[in-house]
Chain A
């Protein structure tokens, strides 16, 4: 690992069955080293059952909240939520 080594983003699955969650990043020159560094840095207290590492440069991100109206299309579709619908009085289990 030289001083300008690659940065890898670290995702940790805290328990079998759960989704991997972003934990932070590490510097490393190759994938094995990235995994080992991630283990040493982010799971010193049994925080994980599985780790993903991915080079930061491969992450594609949308603009932040002040950016273009990327999420606009979902704003006016309230009928996608169950609370949109009115149910007959007394109906259960629905």
Chain B
């Protein structure tokens, strides 16, 4: 009975709020998806943080700092949304450290040159925006509101990345080469960010029925590719896919098959930086422990006064 009322509510586009009845699997699916999203924002600070001290100008450094700070903020919006489902922040962080919760595999690739800051902003944030714009319409109220807030802030991220790529692409031949190399390395992992093909994505069914997801992995991926091809052409870079071709009939670009062995290999912990990313997060969390304890102790002393 509850389940019927719940589905009716979903079907009529009304949002589900924290105190409303919801199926256990809906709650579980949301906790998994939102926490994975939150962890991705937080772990995503590392590959970019890597370049703050080596940014090529003061302007570039200030922008990168602001961007990394935004990612921390986005992580916090999402942890907040996730906590409304009855799981604590502490438990969420534990799940990350115990590798029970995942984060986006894209952040397990190294950032080898300054051009990678361009590629990440343009492609990785670009792909994330396509996903997040769609998720603004997700059925769970707190998640939807978080997405709206994030989308407002995110578009500067993509533009700053694209600006870096455009600048380098019209620079010296070495700079252009660096930009093309970054595109070559980040293209395939970026389009794999949308996850496996719909046919190989067992959870998509429920997520669509409950309107947690509003578009499938393949739809989102296509939308990202269609937007991005022209952007690459304008700045004179080549997307590293010989099969990429406009399909008049479909009204979309056709593209080559992704390397799913690589995808699963990275998801399962064997990417170039998986260990480094997680170790760094654990270390930072441990090293911040005394600050958290001091703050707590200070608050308790204030109460006694």
Also in contact, A29 and B90, with CB within 8 A (given A5-B292, A24-B80): no
Also in contact, A4 and B90, with CB within 8 A (given A45-B153, A66-B20): yes
* B34 → A minimal CB distance (Å): 14
Do residues B298 and A30 form an inter-chain contact, with CB atoms below 8 A? yes
* A45 → B minimal CB distance (Å): 7
* B9 → A minimal CB distance (Å): 8
Q: How large is the interface on A (under 10, 10 to 19, 20 to 34, 35 or more residues)?
A: 20 to 34
> Which residues from 31 to 47 on chain B have a C-beta closer than 8 Å to any C-beta of chain A?
none
Do residues A64 and B88 form an inter-chain contact, with CB atoms below 8 A? no
> Which residues from 20 to 46 on chain A have a C-beta closer than 8 Å to any C-beta of chain B?
24-30, 33, 40-41, 44-45
* B37 → A minimal CB distance (Å): 16
Also in contact, A1 and B20, with CB within 8 A (given A25-B80, A45-B153): no
Q: Scoring A residues 59 to 76 as 1 if CB is less than 8 Å from chain B, else 0, what string do you get?
A: 001011010000000000
Residues of B within 8 A of A5 (CB): 292, 295-296
Also in contact, A64 and B20, with CB within 8 A (given A1-B291, A41-B76): yes
Per the bound structure, the CA–CA distance linking A44 and B74 in Å amounts to: 12
Residues of B within 8 A of A54 (CB): none
Do residues B76 and A66 form an inter-chain contact, with CB atoms below 8 A? no
Q: How large is the interface on B (under 10, 10 to 19, 20 to 34, 35 or more residues)?
A: 20 to 34
- B93 at the A interface (CB under 8 A): yes
Contact of B70 among A7, A33, A44 (CB under 8 A): A44
Also in contact, A64 and B17, with CB within 8 A (given A4-B90, A44-B70): yes
Do residues B89 and A3 form an inter-chain contact, with CB atoms below 8 A? yes
Residues of A within 8 A of B296 (CB): 1-2, 5, 29
Residues of A within 8 A of B69 (CB): 44
Do residues B295 and A66 form an inter-chain contact, with CB atoms below 8 A? no
Q: Scoring B residues 279 to 291 as 1 if CB is less than 8 Å from chain A, else 0, what string do you get?
A: 0000000000001
Do residues A64 and B73 form an inter-chain contact, with CB atoms below 8 A? no
Residues of A within 8 A of B88 (CB): 3-4
> What are the nearest 9 A-B pairs in CB distance?
A3-B90, A29-B299, A30-B299, A29-B295, A2-B292, A1-B292, A1-B295, A2-B296, A29-B296
Show 7 A/B contacts (Cβ-Cβ < 8 Å), sorted by A: A2-B295, A24-B146, A29-B298, A29-B299, A30-B299, A44-B153, A66-B21
